Amino acid sequence: MFEKTKALCDSFLDMGIPGFDMIVYHNGHEVLRYFNGFSDQEKKIPIRGDERYYIYSCTKPITVTCAMQLFEQGKFSLDDPVSKYLPEFTHMQVKTEDGLVDAQRPILVRHLFTMTAGIVRTRQKILNSLGDPTLRETMKAFAREPLEFQPGDRYQYSLNHDVLGALIEIWSGESFQDYAKNHIFDPLGMKDTTYKLSVEDIPKLAVLYKWDKESGLILREEVTQEQVNKKYVCGGAGVVSTVTDYIKFCEALREGEKLLKRETIRLMTQDHLTPWQKRFNWKDKPHSYGLGMRVPSRDPHTEIRDWVDFGWSGMAGAFMAVDIPNKVTMFYVQHVKDPPNNGQKAFTYQYALEDMGLV
């Protein structure tokens, strides 16, 4: 069983991916666990299945789940202005062809969830200019940057969920990483998942690589003590996890009531973009964007096919899918930034459905 899925994953090794790990659950039970290749290609250390990985943007569904727990407690409304909680976002300017203009409307919390706020797109230049900033210090720097467009005008992938991380601290009274640990990781038994990796745990990481498109080479990237000691905790990325930990999170979203009410999960996984907002990114695609993740599109002109999952992916190759109608969850992970198989990871989910006879 799962021969088609396994063959697809093995083909990634032929592209130069050093190793991968994948898990599939159906109706609450593990039906596939498959890993192959090396956690350290140079030293020829085989994947064992207990390695930790930077999951990058697969962090985002965790962040929005934290936020929606606080939404259930009445800590905020989706239509609250962000400046109600972070005053630095009160007077924003917007880039135009004619220069900077004042924002016509406030950034709403909803805009952060749906990536429609126009927030700055890259964080590294800002972080470098600040040295070793805290989350709140970084938000003040974000707010000094002009918006890419008027709030709510369109979808654009950017650092909206970093701002959500700061809001979670305000709404909860806990540090962002402590909130996630106390309300997501510990309740689910995700003992190897954290926003702050200890120096002692660096050897437990699968080696991180980066694909160089020009040369076609997979280049090794060392994770340093300085990197793991930084103060900034990122709502849009930054979580370290394992396959067996992260699938627990996926299952909790599929089942409902463990982390969030089912009605809240339905709200998160609806298509929240208007046709105008999705005109540059999600137009005529089977997926759109909900509250912090891809969701099936509600555009009547889109051919949905069998893509009924919600989830997200990560820069180094992580990919999650939660499929409530078919009672399936899956998580695939590798450790290569901007990988050559980026456009093919989603088919691990589709092939698993086919191998199980669900489509």
* pLDDT tens digits, one per residue of 139-189: 999 999 999 999 999 999 999 999 999 999 999 999 999 999 999 999 999
The residue ranges of the chain whose pLDDT is under 70 are 300-306
- The model's pTM: 0.95
* pLDDT tens digits, one per residue of 80-109: 999 999 999 999 999 999 999 999 999 999
Q: Give 68-176's CATH code, choosing from 3.40.710.10, 3.20.20.10, 1.10.3720.10, 3.30.70.520.
A: 3.40.710.10
pLDDT of 303: 52
pLDDT of 300: 60
What residue ranges of the chain are covered by domains with CATH 3.40.710.10?
3-58+190-355, 68-176
Residue that has been written with the tokens 């805009």 in this structure: 111
Q: How far is CA 347 from CA 26, 69, 242, in A?
A: 17, 31, 21
Fold exhibited by the domain 3-58+190-355: Beta-lactamase (3.40.710)
pLDDT of 262: 97
Tell me the backbone φ, ψ of residue 143, rounded to 5 degrees: -70, -20
Q: How far is CA 178 from CA 3, 294, 336, in A?
A: 41, 26, 28
pLDDT of 284: 78
